[in-house]
Structure 1
């Protein structure tokens, strides 16, 4: 399937020095969903306070001359990692509305579904962005509310620069969640995503961009 349908929804998030902090996904014409941890100060012992600053949102499918759109965390949409680590979400509000589209289709994922998925991240070695492919392995992570992702043995593994990026279903192009974590160590095949169901549980404002009850049919339910 072509990647062009997802191009306008992919975002690279940079700080005020233009350093890449991670990835995000455009929702509607004025919001970007990402992980809270990529917005935190990169210093030891930093408190998980809501950042009082703007971030640059580079739109991958609409790179053009001129400054990138800027956004900051919307009121009530800062859900940083706590002691149990299960929540790691933030919703940026853009200073100006985007001139295109209404964002992708976010879909809930039924328990036990195994799907081939892909994601577009911005690792230090390929700052312009690179695709990675994985397969949903099942419930995991803190509290069992994340989904484990198993990388393809011949493709790139997830690493810094992928956090916050959308997880696209290979078959439907629906967004099933966002990448949140990976096993430390370059080349690891293990990573995790926060599925849509968990996102809307902790960040109800995102519910307005969710369509339907389930991302895939009943044939994908646990045997």
Structure 2
């Protein structure tokens, strides 16, 4: 069945669930919140902590009563270290009119999703809008947001607790929890609604949307090792771009364990590795499409099916499909669902429970195509390396292996990528040091031309920079050269005033 999404927010920008939180009476605005039902508001803990006389107003909705509000005992989690927590649930004394509550939606929070926020900075109690883009997980729970353009209003004091709404559907994906203290970066963070519910379990009853993980992939115990650890690492490497693996028979147990491992956050704060893990046995093309569309949070128009919406475009997602050979139409599933997701930049693991079924040849064809695309992309990167004869030999060997057994190469690409990235970083460091070395020589010439060749302080600064460049440490060299540059500038200015 196709999942229908609500229409986009009104063109006038009014969203009746948006709440302004202030100190009682005509006190100052403390922050913002989200109306989740007639008598409950979701906000940040730091907005309301220490305040007894809270008031909540629905923003821009005429005839709606303000209401005293209080934090529900036990439902406030202060901000923790490394981007955790900072959520609270309020109860309103005055029930708000029906039909005003937000839709909290759990979705796969992919890069570059457009969202918008209304905050209440000092002097702008009526509110100011900003358009943001979701970027990526930062810390254990929070998600970074960047301004959509240089002219956007920055998220600042007064935005905390504001609902972060998907600009395509109007659904609330999370709330603003923090901003960067600097004046130029414009960075801010939100906490997703499913993480809110993990801290505040009663919030779960107001959340809609696919959890993303079928029961087949849960309940796995033990530390990952061997094939499980390799697959879990592969699933987490979403930044490496589109890729597909085909897994057969007994190997599916390792896939299921890897999903359980990679779908949780690690102590280091890694983002979940899997957006969707489905048992597709017996399912139709449109049923699988509908799960992907729902998890992606895509708007579906009344006249189109989920599979049509998926083919029109989707965000890059990491998806595991178990039992592809037991789907209602395996070949159609590969052609009409898996191929569009791969073309959109997705990473997929396709599980076949037996060898030789319908659809397996097509899936292996996708593996070959994706591997060939990645391998050819390496050619341009290797061409940019100096003294790249050894890397050209490695690339030739990789191409030959990809032609013989693309499935095996698909699993080895991660190691090849890591080695190439290390080589690129070494080249980058060497080039940066060479640039600083060139600047150092130019600065010495400038000093000599101004009659400063015998200046003892300049000579010592030059020797420190020269020694750092010889040692080959990029950061030390850069700092020493900049110090010499400042010393030359000061010496030239002082000489000009005498």
TM-score normalised by L of structure 2:
0.40
Larger Rg belongs to: 2
Equivalent residue pairs, number: 210
Of 105-114 and 207-216, the range deviating more from structure 2: 105-114
**Structure with the higher fraction of residues in strand conformation:** 1
> For 1:85 and 1:146, how far apart are their aligned partners in 2?
6
CA contact (8 A) 1:77 1:203 kept: yes
- CA 128–61 in structure 1, closer or farther in 2 if over 3 Å, else same: closer
> For 2:109 and 2:30, how far apart are their aligned partners in 1?
31
1:35-184 equivalences in 2 (<5 Å): 35-41=44-50, 53-64=52-63, 68-101=66-99, 103-140=101-138, 142-143=139-140, 145-151=141-147, 152-184=149-181
Deviations 1:20-58 (A, max 9, x none): 1000010110000000001124xxxxxxxxx5x231001
> For 2:143 and 2:113, how far apart are their aligned partners in 1?
11
> For 1:81 and 1:131, how far apart are their aligned partners in 2?
25
Partner residue, 2:297? 216
CA contact (8 A) 2:83 2:142 kept: no
Deviations 1:55-95 (A, max 9, x none): 10011132449x72111011331111234551000000011
1:204 aligns with 2:222: no
**Structure with the higher fraction of residues in helix conformation:** 2
> For 1:102 and 1:93, how far apart are their aligned partners in 2?
16
Give secondary structure in 2 for the equivalent of 1:81. strand
1:12 aligns with 2:93: no
Of 183-192 and 7-16, the range deviating more from structure 2: 183-192
Which 5+ residue runs of structure 2 have no aligned equivalent? 1-8, 211-294, 299-309, 319-344, 346-498
Give secondary structure in 1 for the equivalent of 2:105. coil
> For 2:48 and 2:128, how far apart are their aligned partners in 1?
21
- The one of 23, 28, 53 equivalent to 2:37 is 28
CA RMSD of aligned residues (A): 2.2
Which 5+ residue runs of structure 1 have no aligned equivalent? 42-50
- CA 54–113 in structure 1, closer or farther in 2 if over 3 Å, else same: same
CA contact (8 A) 2:46 2:79 kept: yes
- CA 123–3 in structure 1, closer or farther in 2 if over 3 Å, else same: farther
> RCO higher in 1 or 2 (8 Å CA, sep ≥ 6)?
1
Residue 114 of structure 1: CA displacement? 2.6
> For 2:173 and 2:180, how far apart are their aligned partners in 1?
20
> For 1:28 and 1:19, how far apart are their aligned partners in 2?
25
